[in-house]
Amino acid sequence: MTTLSPENSLSARLSASFILGLHPSVRTEAWKFLTGYYSWQSSQDERLTMNSTRRKNYESLCQMYEKIQPLLENLHRNFLETRNNITCDIQKLYDKDPLGNVLIDKKKLEKILLLSYVCNTQAEYQQGFHHMVMLFQLMVEHDHEIFWLFQFFLQKTEHSCVINIGVSKNLNMLNDLINFMDPVFAEHLRGKGAGTVQSLFPWFCFCFQRAFKSFEDVWRLWEVLLTGKPCRNFQVLVAYSLLQMVREQVLKESMVGDDILQACNKLIDLDADELISAACLVYAELIQKDVPQPLKDFFL
């Protein structure tokens, strides 16, 4: 019988999550391991202790925020502007299911987003975060769990959805990937489609939420991103695969930038497993080639 080392055991778990996905009944707890909320090697007692620590730390942050809120309101114009943006974004969310049952607590959502804005200096609030935190609120029950899962998700995915950190890098590497993998399409995008790739930033800011037909599909893709498999920065391969879906139409109709974006925006109600499989095929093709060093460093 072969005994798995902790490292190999972890790799096997991540591979299973990547290949098979997570059953809804285990998603809530599994996410705590995937994000680093819990250690994979922790015992049940250690997890109880860690959860208590996370809750206390969250409560301490809330108390700190309440103390400094008047100061922020009086001295920081950006705070007032951000709070207004958060409020407006949340009000636009549809918070009920088809039967009229309330799905989300908008006040709770606003509180968590404001706290995240104040505490996370790396990731200032941006449109799209309200959708992300809403999905965490649908997944877990307690405020401290929602808050920390959001923070750890951003960290684990290397802030790839944050405008001032990862989004620009993603767009540049997507452009490099198109140039390397599909020169014909790249030439069209440089000509009639000039500026198209840089205009695809919402894909990354919203972490592809708008492309899928269900929350389950969104979570499925995010879980793959958290595993780090089959490679780092898998989100760029996903974006490349989305572009390939409109490639034939773009070239056949010789589309210009705005028309290409419109075609991309029509990519909705997709199946996550099909998109993940397409991106994996791109990766399999990529690693068979003599990859330029910048792409190699980014993905491998």
Does the residue 224 lie in any domain?
yes
Is residue 246 situated within a structural domain?
Answer: yes
Domain count, the chain: 2
The pLDDT tens digits of the residues spanning 143-182 come to: 999 999 999 999 999 899 999 899 999 999 999 999 999 9
In a domain, 2, yes or no: no
- What's the mean pLDDT in 73-93? 92
Please say which residue of 156, 177, 200 terminates a domain.
156
What was the pLDDT predicted at 15?
67
Higher pLDDT among residues 254 and 20, named by residue: 254
pLDDT at 132: 95
Q: Which two tokens stand for residue 80?
A: 């007032």
- Segment 12-17 shows an average pLDDT of 63
On whether both 198 and 241 belong to a single domain, the answer is: yes
Nearest CA among 7, 203, 206 for reference residue 89:
206
Helices (H), the chain: 6-20, 24-35, 44-75, 77-92, 106-119, 129-139, 143-156, 168-181, 183-190, 201-205, 215-227, 234-252, 257-265, 272-286, 293-299
| Secondary structure of residue 137 in the 3-state scheme | helix
- Residues 5 and 8: their CA atoms lie apart, in Å, by 5
Regarding whether 145 and 207 lie in a shared domain, the answer is: no
Q: In this structure, are 128 and 98 located in the same domain?
A: yes
Give 186-190's long-range contacts (Cβ < 8 A, gap of 24+).
188/250, 188/251, 188/254, 189/260
Domain range for residue 29?
Answer: 7-12+23-156
pLDDT band at 234 (very low <50, low <70, confident <90, very high): very high
Tens digits of residue pLDDT in 168-220: 999 999 999 999 999 999 999 999 999 999 999 999 999 999 999 999 999 99
Look up the pTM and report it. Answer: 0.91
Burial of 168 (0-12, 13-18, 19+ CB in 10 A): middle
Which residue, 129, 156, 183, sits at the end of a domain? 156
